[in-house]
């Protein structure tokens, strides 16, 4: 199932159950159409919640609802608030597809991720840890 045939209305109804969800990306092999036997459903969520324990609990609840909706446990949910890797976050906003958004959170969130990623890459280059682009 690629992003073009995801049941976005069904997903939207699930995400609406969680008022703290502000933005959801669908990413990974299924989103790009490169589905293999080990492919799972990858979602990244931006939550309006400051408490890390509450974010973790929400992640588990989202996983449960999505697993039920897709009738599989091959679901992964990344909480963008907690993702440490600038490369992962950059990849999600670059290659993923927004499938749910409350208000214009993309315009607030994505520039921060781009700045973080380019600062990270600049640091790697400065210390000779990567090739110059």
Residue in 89, 74, 79 with CA at minimum distance from that of residue 21: 79
Determine which one of 40, 76, 119, 122 is catalytic: 40
Determine which one of 42, 51, 82, 95 is catalytic: 42
Whether 42 is a known active-site residue: answer yes
H helices then E strands: how many in the chain? 5, 4
Contact status, residue 96 vs residue 29, Cβ threshold 8 Å: no
Known catalytic residues? 40, 42
């Amino acid at each position: 199932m690629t992003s073009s045939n995801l049941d976005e209305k069904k997903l939207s109804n699930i995400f609406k159950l969680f008022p703290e969800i502000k933005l959801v990306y669908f990413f990974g092999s299924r989103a790009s159409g490169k589905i293999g036997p080990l492919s799972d459903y990858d979602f990244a969520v931006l939550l309006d919640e400051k408490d890390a324990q509450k974010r973790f609990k929400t992640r588990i609840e989202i996983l449960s609802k999505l697993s039920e909706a897709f009738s599989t446990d091959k679901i992964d949910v990344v909480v963008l608030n907690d993702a440490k890797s600038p490369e992962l976050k950059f990849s999600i906003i670059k290659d993923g597809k927004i499938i749910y958004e409350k208000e214009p959170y993309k315009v607030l969130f994505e520039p921060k991720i781009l700045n973080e990623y380019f600062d990270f890459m600049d640091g790697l280059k400065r210390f000779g840890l990567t090739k110059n682009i």
